[in-house]
Amino acid sequence: MNHSSHPPQTTGHKPVSLAKLGFVASDTEEAQQAQEDLSARYGGVPAQDADVIVALGGDGLMLQTLHEHMGSGKPIYGMNRGSVGFLMNEYREDQLLERLSKADVTTIRPLEMTATANDGTIHKAQAINEVSLLRQTSQAARLKVSVDSRMRLEELICDGILVATPAGSTAYNLSAHGPILPITAQLLALTPISAFRPRRWRGALLPNRARVDIEILDPKKRPVSASADHTEIRHVTHVSVCESTEAEGVIMFDSDHGWDERILTEMFRY
């Protein structure tokens, strides 16, 4: 992931003061009202015509908006109108254009998941936060884990396993006791979920160029699902995960409370 700590003064080829803003909102009454108020104040265009997209909601909406505009080059600036707002800036109606002109910009690369289902069909999806595998029944999953075609765990018995980006390291990965990664780290976190055997294995930090292959052992008796953010594939037999070398998303944070600061705050939270 590349991170720019220098406040950009332009968006695309236009100064932010001249940029067209597109407002998108979650379904809550609070978010819908914010969209109406901001559109009336600053003018709003459809997201596909915007230079900057302002997302009003929670982290779920931010992930959805990033996915929808992945590769477009359009920066996404979120303001929190939801319950969780790690990816969002504080909601304020005043001085929006000034905030945008001073915002830090982070370019993120998603994970690419290729999942093979038990009927042989192949599914592809992208994840900004993580790719996770979870058992579908009361039976623990049995997995074989390889990194860059070299087998690393012949058998992992667990509730599941996930591969997280630095952006996603404070989400599900943190709940599974995985490490928090600085946003500029060229790393991925490979984290088990309730590992039963080997009990002492707590996961691994991998270079972001690594390719992780997970084979599901005994998939009929111990079925497993795979999810790339909110896209779920059931009854998988094999999952491959690597960071995209082409797709990019762009996210904006207020310069006085950027992503680096948010992650450092999480690191020292107790």
Binding site for NAD(+), by residue number, is 59-60, 129-130, 159, 167, 170-175
- First-residue to last-residue Cα distance in the chain: 27
Query: What stretch of H or E contains 98?
Result: helix 96-102
Residues linked to residue 23 through DSSP beta bridges, in sequence order: 54
Residue 132 bridge partners (DSSP): 162, 227
Which residues are paired to 144 by β-bridges? 215
Copy the structure tokens of residue 50: 């915007």
Verify whether residue 104 is a known catalytic residue.
Answer: no
Both tokens of residue 15?
């100064």
Residue of 27, 37, 49, 59 marked catalytic: 59
User: Exposed, middle or buried: residue 19 (CB in 10 Å: 0-12, 13-18, 19+)?
Assistant: buried
Contact by Cβ (8 Å): 128, 144: no
Could you tell me if 193 and 176 are in contact, meaning their C-beta atoms sit under 8 angstroms apart?
Answer: yes
Characterize the bridge pairing of strands 52-57 and 211-217.
unpaired
Q: Active-site residues: which are they?
A: 59
